[in-house]
Structure 1
Amino acid sequence: MLRRLWQILGPVICAALLLVALLAIYPNKLKHSAEEEKNDAVALTHISFKSRAKKIRALSDKSQNFVPFFGSSEWNRMDSFHPSMLAEAYNRSYTPYLLGQKGAASLTQYFGMQQITSQMTNKKAVYFISPQWFVKNGANASAFQNYFSSDQMISFLENQTGTVDDQYAAKRFLKLYPKGTLHQLAEKVAKGESLSSFDEGILSFKRFLALKEDALFSQLSFSNSYEDKIVKKASKLPQPFSYQILGELATSTAKKATTNNPFNIDNNFYTQRVSFQIKHLKGAQKKISYLKSPEYNDLQLVLSQFAKSKTQVIFVIPPVNSKWIAYTGLSEDMYQKAVAKIKYQLESQGFTNIADFSKDGDKAYFMQDTIHMGWNGWLAFDKAVAPFLEEKQATPHYHLNNTFLSKSWANYTGQPQDFTSK
């Protein structure tokens, strides 16, 4: 009987032991490679977005200054004036490391940050805040689960110290991913309970496996993204650098790219995403509001992490295409109230570096599509962000207010400065 069991289970056990042995001898970290790091910086894949090894390799490389650009789908709008293009073409002192995916919002970014807290400490960052994130139910559960990795939870659990922020983050995780990895330990944190020595042992072992797997499988993903997406286009931009010349080029380029619709949005976007449903979209956004949302609380988690890491960060707030607003009935007044609420949450806690473009949706060729910046919008973005990243900034003095984690703030619709927690 024992021999028969060994014949059945022996190969499985041997394979498992070989895998453990392979992982044990495989290095935890990826070796620095300027080419691979630049490829990862603009890959915008699930792997590059979730991999701790890839992010740490680039953000810890002292020979290059990779700066994390947190956001969602806007980084995919890679026309010739995209931040990565301008940084390459004009030899900026930084290279954007793009961290964004369609549907990603503050909670996704917060858990991703847990993997790179050391690489964020006393460094700079760019954080793109889209008011469209602030819908009634907040972050989409499917999108959150899609961009979540076990290593993010391991990192969070190792970083947490039982604070109000930690408890709130654990509760939000359990709401959006109730049976996600290590949810039993997340439940303890949510209740304010301490992790036992046994729990910490489990975390240590899982961290060992996660680091090895990440480093191993990250080596198996190949791309030539930077050369194809960035270098070829950047080489065609005019020299020397001039905002006036770039502005003229952006306008002429946009005119040629927006000829098949009345909204001045990219032809391909209109054809593939809008044209077939255009009649149904007229007046379709009249009832949308961004004033009540748990996203305000999720944003507070991000601010808490920036404060802990003493990260110098500039926040970017985009507009909506004004012609699209008029057609769909989205309330401009509501949009501006949401922006005011976001800015109050930032500024009242010391996050005063804000590039607010929320009123620029009517500027010529500022938007590439309905809600994403492009062409002249990217140039305006560059005028605000490049000096922040290239010049020395005053040491920030953050003073967090936990009332921004409350439901009363999430649902508050009055004047932000009049808010009092109830």
Structure 2
Amino acid sequence: MFKKLGLIFGPVILAFVLVFSIIMLVPESSHVKQNFNEEQRAANALTPTVFKSQKLKQQALSDAKHRFVPFFGSSEWNRMDSFHPSVMAEAYNRPYRPFLLGQRGAQSLTQYFGMQQITSQMRDKQAVFVISPQWFIKPGENSDAFKYYFNQAQALTWLQKDKSTTADRYAAKRLLEMNVSSSLNKYLEKVAAGKKLSSTDLTKIALKLRFLNHEDTLFANLQIGNNYKKNILPKTQNLPEIYNENRLNKLADCYAKKNTTNNKFGIQNTFYKKRISAQVGEIKGSQKNVNYLQSPEYGDLQLVLQQFAQTHTNVLFVIQPINEKWAKYTGLNTHMYQQAVGKIKHQLTSQGFTNIADFSTDGNKKHFMQDTIHLGWRGWLAFDKKVDKFLTTKQPTPVYNIRNKYYTESWMMNPYED
């Protein structure tokens, strides 16, 4: 009987041991080898693989010869028209290249844990962080979206550092609420309760993290695609050879007019046809009860701010507008929306984050929005102007003053009056 079981399960066990051994034998130092073509591909891939990978992010962001800057956000990076920040940087040979870190449904909590993999690469550097007020709904970040973009290595890296602050307890509670992995729960419960991890805990964490990092080093390059060649390089041919703001704005108007002919909202034709037209009648008035003033997202944003302060990262925050015609049609309370923007800006500026590109009042400008909530055409050009100035001119060294009050229920779940 044992011989039969051995014949059945033996090869499986042997294969597992062999795979484990191969993965563990891959040198961890390989993640620092520079390969510019590979880095360009990763920076524009916009895939969950890159979003989760420590190796790919560290490789590009540590390249001393090529300045990749992390651009944190969500689904806006997928709006790749000819005026997209990656296209503009490439076309006009900017001294930086955006490393796009965003996916549909990704919000502050996702970005915070992703940052744990690149803290060294963020230290004393610059970053761009796009905030969308529609993140700030009462349930906060969707747990399914969070789990889709989450990598256990992010949490294990985070757990290796001393965990004794208000921010640590808050982050552990939020991760438990997301229900990402039962294998992490015992560690997270300790941190959430203000308890120290034991030496045995830390040994197990280090071993598991080592395996995952080796696995990342071995397999990360296999699934990054080539968005750079397909969607970035070709679009540079559509732009004037020499940067000219007036010509670019006229060109943006031209593209926008051609691509917003099937609806009254100024929304891109393809987006309107695929996502809206079939249900446009049902959507009317559907956002009249939406509230962006009460949300755990304010606490999640505070984690991001705390991380930027720890790494002394100088950040430009970009606040996205909402298509004004769409807002009126769906009944969104624009006064409430501006109150939420004010609440977000207060949380930023009161702690020293004063670099803010606030486009929240520009949702009524022609050809500024590509769809209901995302920049496009003229909006991207306005974005590019702010970002380029921030990243290419000398900026004052920020002085941050992090306050734990932004983790409290009284801040997160109460209205805000300026």
Q: 1:322 and 1:159 mapped to 2: Cα distance?
A: 45
- RMSD (Å) for aligned C-alpha atoms: 1.3
**Conserved 8 A contact 1:23-1:213:** yes
SS at match of 1:240: coil
- How far apart are residue 4 of structure 1 and its match? 4.4
Aligned to 1:394: 396
Residue 285, structure 1, aligned to residue 272, structure 2: no
**Conserved 8 A contact 1:50-1:112:** yes
Matching of residues 375-386 of structure 1 within 5 Å: 375-386=377-388
- How far apart are residue 198 of structure 1 and its match? 0.5
**Conserved 8 A contact 2:42-2:224:** no
SS at match of 1:320: coil
Deviates more, 1:13-22 or 1:86-95: 13-22
Aligned to 2:268: 266
Q: 1:92 and 1:380 mapped to 2: Cα distance?
A: 16
Counterpart pick for 1:234 among 225, 228, 236: 236
Residue 341, structure 1, aligned to residue 343, structure 2: yes
**Conserved 8 A contact 2:369-2:376:** yes
Quick one: which amino acid aligns to residue 340 of structure 1?
G
Residue 12, structure 1, aligned to residue 12, structure 2: yes
Quick one: which amino acid aligns to residue 14 of structure 1?
L
SS at match of 2:177: helix
> Are residues 180 and 42 of structure 1, via their aligned partners in 2, closer, same or farther at CA, if it must alter by over 3 Å?
farther
> Are residues 55 and 408 of structure 1, via their aligned partners in 2, closer, same or farther at CA, if it must alter by over 3 Å?
same
Matching of residues 67-216 of structure 1 within 5 Å: 67-177=69-179, 179-216=181-218
**Conserved 8 A contact 1:79-1:374:** yes
Aligned to 1:420: none
SS at match of 1:351: coil
SS at match of 2:223: coil
**Conserved 8 A contact 2:85-2:380:** yes
Q: 2:82 and 2:169 mapped to 1: Cα distance?
A: 43
Q: 1:33 and 1:76 mapped to 2: Cα distance?
A: 24
- How far apart are residue 136 of structure 1 and its match? 0.9
- How far apart are residue 415 of structure 1 and its match? 1.7
Deviates more, 1:37-46 or 1:174-183: 174-183
- Identity over the aligned pairs, expressed in percent? 53
C-alpha distance after superposition, 1:100-126 (max 9, x if no partner): 011111011001111111111111000
Q: 2:346 and 2:251 mapped to 1: Cα distance?
A: 36
**Conserved 8 A contact 1:150-1:181:** no
**Conserved 8 A contact 2:82-2:239:** yes
Counterpart pick for 2:410 among 403, 408, 411: 408
Aligned to 2:23: 23
SS at match of 2:222: coil
Deviates more, 1:27-36 or 1:300-309: 27-36
C-alpha distance after superposition, 1:9-29 (max 9, x if no partner): 432332222122211321223
- How far apart are residue 375 of structure 1 and its match? 0.3
> Are residues 15 and 238 of structure 1, via their aligned partners in 2, closer, same or farther at CA, if it must alter by over 3 Å?
same
Q: 1:206 and 1:98 mapped to 2: Cα distance?
A: 28
**TM-score of the superposed pair, with normalisation by structure 1:** 0.96
Q: 2:231 and 2:340 mapped to 1: Cα distance?
A: 34
Counterpart pick for 2:308 among 283, 306, 309: 306
Aligned to 1:372: 374
Deviates more, 1:8-17 or 1:63-72: 8-17
How many residues align structurally? 416
C-alpha distance after superposition, 1:201-221 (max 9, x if no partner): 101111110011111111322
Aligned to 1:220: 222
Q: 2:13 and 2:254 mapped to 1: Cα distance?
A: 65
C-alpha distance after superposition, 1:152-199 (max 9, x if no partner): 111111134311101100000001116444121111111111111101
Q: 2:145 and 2:180 mapped to 1: Cα distance?
A: 14
Q: 1:280 and 1:303 mapped to 2: Cα distance?
A: 38
Q: 2:5 and 2:375 mapped to 1: Cα distance?
A: 63
Aligned to 1:419: none
SS at match of 2:316: strand
Counterpart pick for 1:40 among 39, 42, 52: 42
Q: 2:72 and 2:182 mapped to 1: Cα distance?
A: 24
Q: 2:237 and 2:357 mapped to 1: Cα distance?
A: 28
Q: 1:178 and 1:253 mapped to 2: Cα distance?
A: 43
**Conserved 8 A contact 1:404-1:410:** yes
> Are residues 182 and 10 of structure 1, via their aligned partners in 2, closer, same or farther at CA, if it must alter by over 3 Å?
same
Residue 59, structure 1, aligned to residue 61, structure 2: yes
Quick one: which amino acid aligns to residue 104 of structure 2?
K
- How far apart are residue 8 of structure 1 and its match? 3.6
Quick one: which amino acid aligns to residue 23 of structure 2?
L
Quick one: which amino acid aligns to residue 109 of structure 2?
L
> Are residues 180 and 70 of structure 1, via their aligned partners in 2, closer, same or farther at CA, if it must alter by over 3 Å?
farther
Q: 2:393 and 2:182 mapped to 1: Cα distance?
A: 42
